[in-house]
Amino acid sequence: MEFMTGVKEKETLELSELLEEGRLGEEVKVNGAVHTIRDMGTVAFVILRKREGLVQCVYEEGVTKFNLKDLREAATVEVTGKLTESEKAPNGIEIRLSEIKVLSMPKDSLPLAVSKWKLNTSLEAKLNYRSISLRNVRERAKFKIQEGIVRGFREFLYKEGFTEIHTPKIGAKGAEGGSNLFRLDYFHRPAVLEQSPQLYKQMMVGVFDRVFETGPVFRAEKHNTKRHLNEYTSLDFEMGYIDSFEDIMAMETGFLQYTMELLKKDYAKELKILDVTLPDVSKIPAIRFDEAKQKVSEKYGRKIRNPFDLEPEEEHLIGQYAKEEWDSDFVFVTYYPSKKRPFYAMDDPQDEKFTLSFDLLFRGLEITTGGQRIHDYDMLMEKLAKRGMTEEGLETYLDTFKHGMPPHGGLGIGMERLTMQLLGEDNVRETTLFPRDLSRLTP
């Protein structure tokens, strides 16, 4: 019997500890994966990959008590040596090795040259060898930045009085309805995977006023494009006591402002690795859907084919328009047509063909859909009837509105898409850890 008393002190040092003042000249112990070995004869440079970055180690024949032939790339090791200054090494330091202890040896050579600065391979190969390709420092950095986005979302919303919730992903009915549902057998009852936490977060507005969730959503869409996934992480919030749907856009703007600052502060290293310039989010223009279509048609000579829908190319042009006219990478497009929005969307009392809703475009791609929801029971039942929908599977959701709900609205942000646009990638799979699409179910 023994007692656990908290995190164990480690003898081995992390990169940030090596960089602490006063460490130079010390004998240090460091572990890591062998990223690359540059053998110069009697001297060799062994670069270790650690979570915070690369560490250069210098092997010297006769000095380092180890036979270099027994080391290979992708081995994991614990090394001991003297920490010294080195202008040319990453972070300006290197370790002059006295000892190398091998923790594990690879069985095969790597299928990808992960130690290259740019991983020069196809997207297919990157995804097929996901656990290897992400060992590349640039590939890995994308997902650190993605962490920062999600962290920013949560930290900002906590600060704004939101409560985090965890809603079920297996349900009886999808929030958006339609055919884009994955179906499964739930102990001999038909069930679906939720397309969105929509109905749950609305119900929780009556409890916590403001709620958010970061979790997976599932869409059985048969699209096979560069911007669609069949499973993605949705950053959702819903807030009560709004004066108008502008409150929601204002909150999203606040989230973006907070998150860009957080990235600048805590993810500067990764931004530099990927050479990312953060967009200015001090003010984001908002333009009506119909007006945006009109403006784009006029400026770029594109005919309006369907006044009630935005084609991907039109979205792209609205992005271009926002950049040219207001020097903004983001633009809110407001008052979407009712027929393109789900039953719970609040119609504009001024013109019921449109809704009190919006999309946020980032460099011409939709990354958010949001808006005000119907909070009146009778209005909700009317809308359901008009759409020919039944109450089945929605009973508790609908009942909630019989018992008093504040005016409210919210949004959902596609985490992978936001990351993709921020990093200037051209395929959402580049910023998805393990994508699920029409053809991809593994790894």
Which residues within the stretch 296-325 sit at the binding site for its own copies (CB under 8 A)?
Answer: none
Identify whether the C-beta of residue 423 lies closer than 8 Å to the C-beta of residue 142.
yes
Please name every residue paired with 105 in a beta bridge, in sequence order, or none if there are none.
none
Please name every residue paired with 211 in a beta bridge, in sequence order, or none if there are none: 163, 238
Stretch near its own copies under the rule CB under 8 A, chosen from 53-61, 81-89, 141-149, 308-316: 141-149
Q: Tell me if 220 is assigned to a ligand binding site.
A: yes
> What is the dihedral angle through the alpha carbons of 311, 316, 317, 323, rounded to the nearest 10 degrees?
150
Q: Which is nearer to its own copies, 19 or 191 (CB)?
A: 191
Binding residue (CB under 8 A) for its own copies from 376, 385, 386, 391: 376
Options 197-205, 302-310, 349-357, 361-369: segment touching its own copies (CB under 8 A): 197-205
Q: How far apart are CA 335 and CA 287, in angstroms?
A: 9
Q: Which structure tokens are listed for 221?
A: 């869409």
- Report the residue from 42, 85, 104, 113 that binds its own copies according to the rule CB under 8 A: 104
Contact partners, residue 252, CB within 8 Å, separation at least 6: 360, 368, 370, 411, 413
Q: Does 442 bind its own copies (CB under 8 A)?
A: yes
**Binding residues with its own copies: total (CB under 8 A):** 127
Q: Which of residues 327-366 bind its own copies (CB under 8 A)?
A: 332
Count CA within 13 A, CB hemisphere, residue 114: 26
8 binds its own copies, rule: CB under 8 A: yes
Site for its own copies, residues 33 to 92, rule: CB under 8 A? 33-34, 50-52, 74-76, 78
Question: By CB under 8 A, is residue 29 in contact with its own copies?
Answer: no
Tell which one of 12, 84, 98, 294 touches its own copies (CB under 8 A): 12
- Would you say 221 is a known binding-site residue? yes
Residue 4 within binding range of its own copies, rule CB under 8 A: yes
- Residue range at the interface with its own copies (CB under 8 A); choices 38-46, 82-90, 182-190, 338-346: 182-190
Task: Pick from 42, 101, 116, 186 the residue near its own copies by CB under 8 A.
Answer: 186
Q: What Rg do the C-alpha atoms of the chain give, in angstroms?
A: 26
How far, in Å, are 205, 218, 347 from residue 198 at the CA level? 11, 13, 17
Which of 60, 160, 176, 261: binder of its own copies (CB under 8 A)? 160
* C-alpha separations of 195 from 150, 169, 175 in Å: 19, 8, 6
**Site track for its own copies across 257-296, x = CB under 8 A:** x------------------------xxxxxx---x-----
Contact segment (CB under 8 A) with its own copies among 88-96, 122-130, 306-314, 349-357 equals 122-130
Binds its own copies (CB under 8 A): choice among 19, 43, 54, 110: 110
Question: DSSP string spanning 86-121?
Answer: -TTSGGGEEEEEEEEEEEE--SS--SS-TTSSS--S
Give the N- to C-terminal CA distance of the chain in Å, as an integer: 41
Note whether 95 binds its own copies by CB under 8 A: no
2 is in an annotated binding site: no
373 is in an annotated binding site: yes
Residue 244 corresponds to which amino acid? S
Check whether 26 is labelled as a binding-site residue. Answer: no
Q: Is 130 annotated as a binding residue?
A: no
Nearer to its own copies among residue 86 and residue 206 (C-beta): 206
Cα separation, 35 vs 18, in Å, equals 18
Pick the binder of its own copies from 29, 96, 138, 151 (CB under 8 A): 151
Cis peptide before 443 (omega within 30 of 0): yes
Among 64, 115, 400, 421, the residue binding its own copies under the rule CB under 8 A is: 400
Q: Does 140 bind its own copies (CB under 8 A)?
A: yes
Strand-pair partners of 38: 45
Burial of 371 (C-beta count, 10 Å sphere; 0-12/13-18/19+): buried
Cα–Cα distance for residue pair 393/391, rounded to 1 Å: 6
The only residue of 165, 333, 420, 428 in contact with its own copies, by rule CB under 8 A: 165
Q: Nearer Cβ to its own copies, position 216 or 279?
A: 216
Site for its own copies contains 200 (CB under 8 A):
yes
381, with CB counted inside 10 A (0-12, 13-18, 19+), is middle
What tokens does 90 get?
């990453």
Least CB distance to its own copies at residue 26 (A): 20
Q: Which is nearer to its own copies, 207 or 268 (CB)?
A: 207
How many Cα neighbours within 13 Å face the side chain of 18?
Answer: 29
Using CB under 8 A as the binding rule, the residues of this chain from 420 to 439 that contact its own copies are 433-436, 438
Contact flags string 216-255 toward its own copies, x per CB under 8 A: x-x-x-x-------xx-x------xx-x--xx-xxxxxx-
Strand partners, 80: 29, 99
Residues contributing to the annotated binding site for ATP: 219-221, 227-229, 366, 414-417
Known binding-site residues equal 176, 219-221, 227-229, 366, 369, 373, 414-417
